[in-house]
Amino acid sequence: MNKRAQQRLTMAWLPLAGIIATGGYLMAAGHQLHLYQGLPLLFLIACPLMHLFLHRHHGGRHDQGDGN
């Protein structure tokens, strides 16, 4: 991708990111109680998923290593 196309892409995404950030802030400020009510559900979903995807290398086979 050349530099001019990259600049056009950046110029298109920058205002969109600002609109999304502003809308997200207004939604969070206006619906703060609902966000707090949904927080336990977020942890119930996020914790197992993080455990599965981020700790997948911890319990693997150890015989591939340095031969200790």
Element (H, E) at 44: helix 32-54
**Residues 11-44: tens digit of each pLDDT:** 888 889 999 999 999 988 988 888 888 888 888 9
Q: Average pLDDT, whole number, for the chain? A: 80
Residue carrying structure tokens 């336990």: 40
Residue 62 has what pLDDT?
Answer: 52
| CB contact at 8 A, 28 and 35 | yes
pLDDT reading at 4 higher than 70: yes
